[in-house]
Structure 1
């Protein structure tokens, strides 16, 4: 499947997915990296990985709908079939959902429905829970509310800091996301949609 990977930050999950695709662990053809924060670390990763980059400032558009229309036009122009959000810090709006609903996945650093939204790792630490994790889910109009595809728990140690826990969760995400994508593709195949 021709795949676009969206990121707002460093892009470590983007790199993990591209590596899994290139190693044949998941049947994807990464064709574009989308960055909504020009200058973010994912831009250097795109260059190093040899992938085209669509870097754009949403604030350069009249509104969210105009931004998403421009984005959707670019995605359709190059034949994108699947979108993987990998540290993309924006909610998908109606334009993107209309074009790619049911074919847009996200990874989140908690065991949803616990700790949705920003700062999930900090929320887990502040809540004093003993276990958190990572979740891959379909994207819908809500914040981290779409149907769950896969989850994996991560134990929180007594001495855990936000930074150390974030690193542990990212290591899990790098394995879980490609596995969840493969599982999602299998379900599409079984329904005759791939």
Structure 2
């Protein structure tokens, strides 16, 4: 078990903290994942029944591993992909296999982090379609995304990226 504390300006730490804060009521303890072909920055959040991983390698690398791990463990697996770029926004995507609850595995790829106006965090598709709401109960598949227009989608992605940037580069106030 390792403590999950507020990150110290590391991209994997910031992403783990950002997503785990939505999935867990108590952020004090998470468990390292012992390998299995997943990236080194992989942890399990037992209370949320989610394995959370980070890589800066582009897709489709690790997609088969995510699917296999979800099937073998009967737990949802979220792989976050992000690399720092010179652009204005942190490009975060997620590959997800939902396999908790004994249901058949369901894969979704290239989802974006989205912060709704109601403060809930989502993983949303490129346009419209199924989306995943992240909450204390874990990852929940919803057939309708939390936005009505692509402008609303863009606003939510920007809100999420801004929050991540604030974790990575906290302002110094006296």
TM-score (norm 1): 0.31
Pair member with larger Rg: 1
Structure number having the greater helix percentage: 1
TM-score (norm 2): 0.34
Structure number having the greater strand percentage: 2
